[in-house]
A and B are shown apart, each in its own frame.
Chain A
Amino acid sequence: MAEQMNPELSIWLNGKTEILNSNQLTELLPRFKAPFAVALNGCFIAASQYPNIVLKAGDQLDIVSPIAGG
């Protein structure tokens, strides 16, 4: 069976379902504005690890940025 070049991948991105064309975290990140920090399935992902992250179906990805707080 021929392997799909860009298999669609469904993940949870900031709490919403998102269909991706790539399983590489680094290909998703450019749509977000710096600065941000990342958690995958509830665990912190250091910026230095971004190139190593391969996303799987059902992953929960959180991308956060600074906001006001008390």
Chain B
Amino acid sequence: MNQDFNIYGAKLNSRLILGSALYPNPALMQQALQQSGCEAVTLSLRRQAPEQQGGEQFWQLIRDLNLKLLPNTAGCHSVQQAVTLAQMSREMFQTNWIKLELIGDDYNLQPDPVLLMQAAEQLLADGFEVLPYCTDDLVLCKRLYELGCKVLMPWAAPIGSGLGVLNPYALRTLRERLPDATLIVDAGLGLPSHACQVMEMGFDGVLLNSAVALAKDPVLMALAFSKAVQAGRSAFLAGAMPKQDFASPSTPVLGMPFWLQEAP
């Protein structure tokens, strides 16, 4: 749990990674990304429809921001789909990073742990630096880490739900049991306080999209998340006071006026 935040050796000053989807318009996306101070952004690949305009504008905006690119395999349901999309992304975006998403359930977009392991193994062997989007299951995360995934991205809650941390025990356990893994909470956060919460636990970073893009003011929310991530990280480094079930006065008792040692 060193103090530098890096993804496969690439140092990032901001521990917040944002997605590029769902913003009301491209200009707001650009402003939100800039305001957040994030240094990496997620994006994807889809079939090109030459008759539709707009794709080039998006790509130009992203390039102008000069951020590190983290392509995803969102929507993939098979190992073959994910591996092929990752290979296409590597050529397109000139990066070995891949946010590996393999959906196992269409209702809650829960990652498929079995396919995730298989795809991660293939991609690592092919030279990718794999960031698997996974559940908060300790054993799955251990297996992915042992396989060679130095960065893991467990969910807090289903993608786009904004529910916040559904299972704080599971996330705390991941942090404690995988102290050397880079752990980025990805998906399900809705409020800056959610991001602060996981950073206080000692997570290395936070990745989110909907919480910023779907806010009434995405630019202001991006700033709020940025501050929350910083606050949570500082709190983690500072070390929280121990909890106790009883009160303990903070103002000294000694010298309290109106008190007599003996009854008059």
Taking Cβ atoms with an 8 Å cutoff, the residues of A that contact B are 14-15, 31-33, 35-39, 42-44, 46-47, 62-70
Contacts and interface: CB of A to CB of B under 8 A. Distances in A.
Nearest to A63: B48
A66 B87 contact: no
Contacts of A39: 84, 88
A37 B50 contact: no
Contact of A69 (B19, B49, B59, B84): B19
Nearest to B93: A66
Interface in B55-71: 55-56, 58-59, 62, 71
Interface residues of B, number: 37
A70 B72 contact: yes
A46 B43 CA distance: 20
Contacts of A68: 19-23, 29, 43-44, 58
Of residues A31, A33, A35, A68, which shows the largest number of chain B Cβ atoms within 10 Å of its Cβ?
A: A68
A69 B45 CA distance: 8
Interface of B: 19-23, 29, 42-50, 55-56, 58-59, 62, 71-72, 74, 80-81, 84-85, 87-89, 91-93, 159-160, 209-210
B88 A69 contact: no
B45 A67 contact: yes
A9 to B, nearest CB: 19
A69 B47 contact: no
A31 B80 CA distance: 27
A70 B87 contact: no
Given A33-B55, A35-B92, A37-B91, A66 B45 contact: yes
15 contacts: A32-B50, A33-B50, A35-B92, A37-B92, A44-B87, A64-B47, A64-B48, A65-B46, A66-B44, A67-B46, A68-B21, A69-B19, A70-B72, A70-B159, A70-B209
A65 B59 contact: yes
A64 to B, nearest CB: 4
Contacts of B209: 70
Nearest to B72: A69
Given A37-B89, A43-B84, A14 B47 contact: yes
